[in-house]
Amino acid sequence: MKLDSVAASVVDDYQFRAHYYYLLSKLLCEPPTEETLRAAALYGVPASDASNRFLITLNALAQSAAEPQDLEQLDDEYHDLFVGIGRGELVPYSSWYITGMMMDKPLSLLRQDLKALGIERVKNNREPEDHISALFDVMGIIIDSGAEFQFRTQQTLFNRHLKPWVRRFFKDMVNARKADFYQKVGEFGVEFMNFETDYLEMPAWWLNFQPEGRGH
């Protein structure tokens, strides 16, 4: 997870987008650690600048991360939501949300697309590639990669493997009985995915009109 280069300021379109993907990936991969919470707290913006739902929910997450947290309680919350006994309150896999079954056709299609991009599964990772954390990590890597991947690659991966289900997942997180800290994660996740949906609907040629260093 590329969380070591987190910065509070927005440098450009693709860098701040990649950072948000990495942050959410880390929060959805494992229970929050002190390091992860410190990183999340850096994303707050001045209240006077929080003029839309995206920034309001980002601030709420950053503020919650900055508050004193009981790591043991956060561990329990994470496991209640995503692991559980048998399964958690939420099932963070695209196959489950799209077909109602684990390890189903969406995972097979995702593996084909990742293979075509030359992206390999991390060794010793027991989770299938359609876990939301893995998908967000891949999106961050693709956005962060410079000219290695085209903007259309971002569009294709998002539209095929995230857009059909991911906002519903975050809305379920907001409404989950066991969610406390993760309610803030879910609220921001909904707004970030709304932003990504709009951003990735732009035609690729439009990005050529952006200032140098912005867009892919």
pLDDT at site 84 = 87
pLDDT digits (tens, 9 = 90+) for 25-70: 999 999 999 999 999 999 999 989 989 999 999 999 999 999 999 9
* Core vs surface per residue 79-98: b (16+ CB within 10 A) or e: ebbbeeeeebbbbbbbbbbb
How far does the chain reach from its first CA to its final CA, in angstroms?
A: 21
pTM: 0.89
The structural domains of the chain, with segments of one domain joined by +, span 17-209
Report, in angstroms and rounded to the nearest whole number, the Rg of the chain calculated over CA atoms: 17
pLDDT digits (tens, 9 = 90+) for 86-127: 899 999 999 999 999 999 999 999 999 999 999 988 777 889
The gap from C-alpha 112 to its chain's centroid, in whole angstroms, comes to: 21
CATH 1.10.1660.10 for domain 17-209:
no
